[in-house]
A and B are shown apart, each in its own frame.
Chain A
Amino acid sequence: MTAVARLRLLLGLLLVLAAVAALTVHLDRAQARVASTEASIGTLTYDVGTSYAGLVVEQPVAVGDTVAEGDTLVVVDSAALRQDVAAGLVDPDTSAATIDASGLLTVTATGDGVVADLRTTTGSFVQAGAVLATVERAGTLFVTAQYELSPEQYARMEDDAAVTVALPDGTRIEGEVTDVTVQSSGGVAQAVVTVGSARLVRGAADGLVAPGTPVDAELHLRRSGVVSAVTDEVTASVHTLWERWRG
């Protein structure tokens, strides 16, 4: 066997070792991740309504408008209210609506957010107790994701496990688990997970961050075992070296 042949064999062996090492790290990482079977963005909402029947005389907002607390959403002209005010039955100052002496009821936003739904139009008659509008509360976007986890995987799921949310355009957002509900069937844990993230800002990523957007949510499990330990150790020391080298 010539020296060249020996060298080639040796190089080949080193390449194989490197490939197996890389593939093993990949496998270790892949095992610490679970893909969601279904996930989408959700949000908290609140409804506003009227306790008096009447005619809608003004509606200055449209669906999708951003509103601040106290902004007018709907103005209702109610004869019954006028009567009650005249009789002194109503305190004009409630938090959700302002009532003036002429019997106009102004329904206002009780919190910052975005108008998600309006159920009336100007000139229409509304019944007492009707819901007039739905507002998505600002800063409450979250992701709901479903997972099928083996018992072994479920055991490795931490309370505030990290989740990588991938939007349809490929943008990634890091979040963490805030709430978990689990049902078992056939030895598999069906987990519904709520993921919160400060980076879930409405309208980000060209408007893709909005309630109802389907996403992929990858759940990160606790990594354990030799490979993880070694990988982490190596990554950490490389990182340290890098930092030191940069000064």
Chain B
Amino acid sequence: MTLTDVDRLLTTPRRTDDPRSGARPDDSAAESPSLMLLVLLASAGVLAYAAFLLDPDHRGDLVPYLMVMSAETVLVAQALLSMWTIMSAGHNPRGFAFHHAQDRLFDAPEILRDGAGDDPRRWRPYLLDRYVDVDVFVTTYGEDPQVVRRTLEAARDIEGAHLTWVLDDGRSDEIRDLAAELGVRYVRRRSSGGAKAGNVNHALSLTHGEFFVILDADFVADPAFLRETLPFFASTDVAFVQTPQVYGNLHNLISRGAGYMQAVFYRYVQPGRNRFNAAFCVGTNVIFRRSAIEDIGGMYTDSKSEDVWTSLLLHERGWRSVYIPTPLAVGDTPETIEAYTKQQQRWATGGFEILLTHNPLSRRRTLTLDQRLQYTVTATHYLTGITPLLLLLVPPLQIYFGLSPMAIDTSTGTWILYYAGFYVMQIALALYTLGTFRWETLMLATVSFPIYARAFVDALLRREKGWHVTGRKGVAVSPFAFIAPQVLFFVFLSLTSVVGLWRDLGTGTLSLALAWNTTNALILGSFVVTAAREQRRTAAQARRTQQARQARRTAAPDGPRRARAPRRPALVAAREGAA
């Protein structure tokens, strides 16, 4: 028999639903002592590999050596720093103040007096014994109304009295009608300046809540969202509380790759950053204190990565951030190459912007050493995405010009031993932290270098370059429009493998360069195959929609629009995906 919500409020002593309170499964992995051991072993592997590369006896021809060295320097430094962050993750941000505030969040006598026991939406939240106003913003920009409906219903049904707003930058009448139907407030602004940050700032000028939640149009919030986040604001220096992004659509290669790429970030890196008071906002599933945002003059609008920039400015003003690894909203991760490319490019540009225009290590920043280091990691993180470009070119250099990055007398066995010390340990770490090793993630990490290189150039030239490939609205764009560099690289590496085979057959020995080059060609090839499959799928879908539209037009020109059957509850899918 389960307790109802109001029963739980009346129980004394109060406790949360989970009897193992404080040891939520989501938090515990980061506290495992075995993880520490693995991290230490992996660090030793990284250092051994670095020493191997730096040993002058192993140095080969200058050009490929420098290429390998610069790539591996970035990778090794980032690996060490991220392992340091992971080691710092075993820390529960909930202290006495939190639990105390959580216990007093809802006033049980008031709820009983108002007869609101069955309707948690009417429970008024109290913080420091004072009633607080909360706004929940759902930002949309042309998303499918069915998806928005799901999100709005969940946002409206979060327990605790709050106002739900849909901030529609897509100016869709369908969304307006939907808001009216669901009883949530609808905001449409005249301009669309400042993108999402501008949208939120505009809404802040219309509302007066002391706290506001931001949810992307596809993130379905858990009813406990406010109960789990609001109590942190009992500490008056907390600017925002961020919760992870959990994905319910891990059903194709791109979304799995992109989703698992995020998983390490949300389960280990952000909790670790929390320890440094450097956890940053990721744009959705977050609750802000209005006065903190007003302190920095509103959400930062000069970047497409407004979330990281806003966090950085808040930290510079001395505000504190809180991250909890408890999943409180489930949404979608990119499942098409187009969406993935745009998302990664947006994030990477934000990182590079910080690196190039707002060096966190500069004396002018009012940050603690911890925060400086963590934001430097953020600013340089996407350089790791560019390194495959250098590494992919090393085997062709050896095949065509005989230039080798390592000394010729370094035996293959020695090399593999040190290389494994680095990479196998990293994979082991991923295997332990995520419970599974996803080759999709490895594939995406290898083939995404054109995105990051482009982002770097954009950030360097301070330009905002759109994509020229997007056709008419509603018409599916071929994924190949976004991955031309990858296709060209695939062709180049495949042909190079053929040439390398021809060369090796001539000399009678199979070279390591050929093995590497073939592996790289296969990885790129699998990505190209993924793109081809996606193109076939979208084309088929477009045909079906076309047929359905024609059928509808002939059958019932004025028939009532009926909502499609709701999709499988995302939360269920997410739990399965994570298992």
Contacts and interface: CB of A to CB of B under 8 A. Distances in A.
Interface of A: 1-2, 4-5, 8-9, 12-13, 15-17, 19-20, 23-24, 26-27, 30-31, 150, 152, 225, 227
A136 B15 CA distance: 107
Contacts of B401: 26-27, 30
Interface stretch (B84-92, B94-102, B494-502): B494-502
Contact of B492 (A9, A19, A27): A19
Interface in B472-505: 477-478, 480-481, 484, 487-488, 491-492, 495-496, 499, 502-503
A5 B496 contact: no
Contact of A227 (B399, B502, B508): B502
A229 B503 CA distance: 15
Nearest to B499: A24
B491 A1 contact: no
A1 B477 contact: yes
Contacts of A31: 503, 506
Nearest to B484: A9
Interface string B247-287: 00000000000000000000000000000000000000000
A33 to B, nearest CB: 11
20 contacts: A1-B469, A1-B481, A2-B468, A2-B471, A2-B481, A4-B468, A5-B468, A9-B480, A9-B484, A9-B488, A16-B495, A17-B495, A20-B495, A23-B499, A26-B401, A27-B399, A152-B506, A152-B507, A152-B508, A227-B502
A8 B506 CA distance: 36
B491 A16 contact: yes
Given A2-B481, A5-B469, A9-B480, 4 more contacts: A12-B484, A13-B487, A20-B495, A23-B496
Given A2-B468, A2-B471, A27-B399, A150 B495 contact: no
A6 to B, nearest CB: 9
B488 A13 contact: yes
A4 B471 CA distance: 11
Given A20-B496, A31-B506, A227-B502, A1 B478 contact: yes
A225 B506 contact: yes
B402 interface: yes
B131 interface: no
B503 A27 contact: yes
A7 to B, nearest CB: 11
B400 interface: yes
Nearest to B399: A27
Nearest to B535: A1
Contacts, number: 63
A27 B495 contact: no
Among B468, B478, B499, the one with the most A-chain Cβ atoms within 10 Å of its Cβ is B499
Nearest to A24: B499
Contacts of A23: 396, 400, 496, 499
B564 to A, nearest CB: 29
A156 B469 CA distance: 53
A188 to B, nearest CB: 13
Interface in B532-558: none
A2 B480 CA distance: 11
Interface residues on chain B, size class: 20 to 34
Contacts of B480: 1, 5, 9
A8 B488 CA distance: 11
Interface residue SS majority, chain A = helix
Given A27-B399, A31-B503, A227-B502, A5 B495 contact: no
A53 to B, nearest CB: 59
A94 to B, nearest CB: 59
Contacts of B396: 23
Contacts of B477: 1
A19 B493 CA distance: 12
B402 A5 contact: no
Contacts of A19: 492
B285 to A, nearest CB: 34
Contacts of B478: 1
Contacts of A225: 502, 506
- Most-contacted residue by chain A among B400, B480, B496 (CB, 10 A): B400
A219 B488 CA distance: 36
B200 to A, nearest CB: 33
A14 to B, nearest CB: 10
A123 B109 CA distance: 134
A16 B488 contact: yes
A12 to B, nearest CB: 5
Q: Which 5 A-B pairs have the closest CB atoms?
A: A1-B478, A20-B495, A23-B400, A1-B481, A12-B488
Interface in B108-143: none
Contacts of A15: 488
Contacts of A152: 506-508
A20 B508 CA distance: 22
A150 B491 CA distance: 32
Contacts of B468: 2, 4-5
Contacts of A1: 469, 471, 477-478, 480-481
B220 to A, nearest CB: 33
B469 A2 contact: yes
Given A9-B487, A26-B400, A27-B399, A150 B499 contact: no
A4 B492 CA distance: 22
A17 B478 CA distance: 23
Nearest to B488: A12
A5 B478 CA distance: 10
Contacts of B402: 30
A173 B496 CA distance: 34
B468 to A, nearest CB: 7
A135 to B, nearest CB: 44
A13 B488 CA distance: 6
A20 B499 CA distance: 9
A15 B481 CA distance: 18
B569 to A, nearest CB: 36
B484 A27 contact: no
A19 B495 CA distance: 10
Given A5-B468, A5-B469, A23-B499, A16 B400 contact: no
Interface string B396-413: 100111100000000000
B400 A27 contact: yes
B342 to A, nearest CB: 16
A27 B500 CA distance: 10
Of B396, B480, B502, most buried by chain A (CB within 10 Å of CB) is B502
B469 A20 contact: no
Interface string B177-205: 00000000000000000000000000000
A16 B492 contact: yes
Contact of A8 (B484, B492, B503): B484
A24 B507 CA distance: 15
A51 to B, nearest CB: 57
A12 B401 CA distance: 23
A126 B499 CA distance: 69
Contacts of A24: 400, 499
B428 to A, nearest CB: 37
In this complex, the member of A16, A26, A150 whose beta carbon has the largest number of chain B beta carbons within 10 angstroms is A16
Given A2-B481, A5-B468, A20-B492, A150 B507 contact: yes
A8 B483 CA distance: 12
A59 to B, nearest CB: 54
